[in-house]
Amino acid sequence: MLLRYLVAFFIKLMLFGVLSKYNTLIFKTMSLHPFRPFVLFTLLFLSQTVNSQVIWLEDFSGAPPAPGWTDFFTDCDGTPESFNGVQNGRYEVIDMEGTPCCPVAGGGAGNNEWVTNEITITGYCNVSISVNYGVIGTFECSAGGPYFSCTDVANIDNGHDQIVFEYSLDGGPWVQFQYVCGAAPPGPATVSGLSGNTIRVRIQPANKSTAETYWFDDVTVSGSLPTVDPVPDVEVCAGEDVMVMFTGTGTPAPTFDWTNDNTAIGLGASGSGNLDFTPPTNLSQQEIATITVTPVSPGCSGVPETFTITVNPLPQTDDPADVVACAGDMVDIIFTGSDPGATYHWTINGLPPNPLFPPSGTGNISGTAPPVPFPISGTVTVHAVSAEGCIGPDQTFSVSLFPAISASFSMTSLPNLCLGQPAVFFGQF
């Protein structure tokens, strides 16, 4: 049993190393794996990595922030060691009491702020904020916070430490999503399920001693865009059913809206859901439509995909004339129709097989009518097949064959006749 779990553990490690590159492969492989808890975790992990996108990130690595941020901090006691700003690859706050400065032993009211400019989140679903933070030193927490005004109480004005995390959507009021009082355990401050056009993030740290450091890092705004999987182009013949099923990703699962730029194929100009329609059979020419499908989740839509549906017309066969021939006559049946490039396939019923009229064939029929012992007729059924493989409707015509006629004559009267005498002939057919 121990060996089994060790093997499973190393497999997991190897798979994690290539997870981001081979998402689909890992999902299929692990679906067959006997350790179900890891299968579930892998599925959830894939779901998050596929759908979530970083919209904005500040990791304080030295790269210029975009779209940027501003800060405003106040040191009320004038201690030289007080500091706020980027150091150690993160934003640190040391002994910054915050305005307004309060009369109690140089305390402050906690109004410091680090705030982003407006971040565009239009079109994204399930927007989330994540901020890593931590504490260094010994901190104090007074009940009832957060505080942003002077209370003239020493343990609040000059002893209470806090970080407040807030966001504002579309220029609206600030909404608190996490409050750290004193020396709370480090971790990310997070909020999700947001939507709008713009968002701002505000972080308000305030502490009251040079032995206390608040820090925060990796301010991340993420969101998900629903996706639609690429759809291959479709080519059918007129009258054939067309069924296209759309798939994609999103949280929640997306629906699919589509538009069609050529309704001659038998599909409406717009709609939603999968496609299921039958092109008309009476098309006179090839029709090509561009379908644009957009994945949609509540409050957002993803990048559209386009594909084409080509409907080829059915080749028509001109109605051939009936054929009547005697044995030995030359027969020449030329098929024509709407498609110059079509081939013609035919079958014959009612005639005995012969070189000119076998049971089936392709192309024109040309040759000498075969001998028959008595009059006989049959039916030829012909249809055209286009270069695209579309089969047109049948046409039928009849073929009637007759035996050849021969005759011999002999005179039964005297061989020498005078003018005016009757002559008698005997004929045999």
**Inter-residue contact 147 to 110 (CB < 8 Å):** yes
Per-residue pLDDT tens digits for 215-254: 999 999 999 889 999 999 999 999 999 999 999 988 778 9
In a domain, 80, yes or no: yes
Q: Based on the structure, what is the number of domains in the chain?
A: 4
Amino acid making up residue 45: F
- 94 and 9 share a domain? no
Q: For 272, phi and psi rounded to 5 degrees?
A: -140, 160
CA-CA distance, 349 to 352, in Å (whole number)?
A: 8
In a domain, 416, yes or no: no
- 353 and 394 share a domain? yes
In a domain, 277, yes or no: yes
Q: For 277, phi and psi rounded to 5 degrees?
A: -155, 170
pLDDT of residue 172 exceeding 50, the answer is yes
Mean pLDDT of 344-358: 95
Chain centre distance of CA 349: 51
**Inter-residue contact 47 to 39 (CB < 8 Å):** no
Mean pLDDT of 392-402: 97
**Inter-residue contact 122 to 75 (CB < 8 Å):** no
- 215 and 96 share a domain? yes
pLDDT band at 123 (very low <50, low <70, confident <90, very high): confident
The overall pTM is greater than 0.95: no
- 231 and 341 share a domain? no
CA-CA distance, 177 to 187, in Å (whole number)?
A: 14
Per-residue pLDDT tens digits for 16-69: 333 333 332 322 223 333 322 322 222 222 333 346 789 999 999 875 555 589
CATH number for position 390: 2.60.40.10
What's the mean per-residue pLDDT of the chain?
Answer: 85
Per-residue pLDDT tens digits for 242-287: 999 999 988 778 999 999 999 999 999 999 999 999 999 999 999 9
CA-CA distance, 402 to 389, in Å (whole number)?
A: 37
Closest CA to 99 of 143, 150, 162: 150
- 106 and 134 share a domain? yes
In a domain, 304, yes or no: yes
- 281 and 386 share a domain? no
- 129 and 258 share a domain? no
- 95 and 244 share a domain? no
3 state DSSP class of 97: coil
- 44 and 87 share a domain? no
The domain boundary, picked from 288, 312, 336, lies at 312
Closest CA to 342 of 370, 317, 324: 317
pLDDT of residue 8 exceeding 70, the answer is no
Look up the domain containing 293 and give its range.
Answer: 227-312
Give the pLDDT confidence score for residue 402 in this predicted structure.
96
Mean pLDDT of 91-104: 94
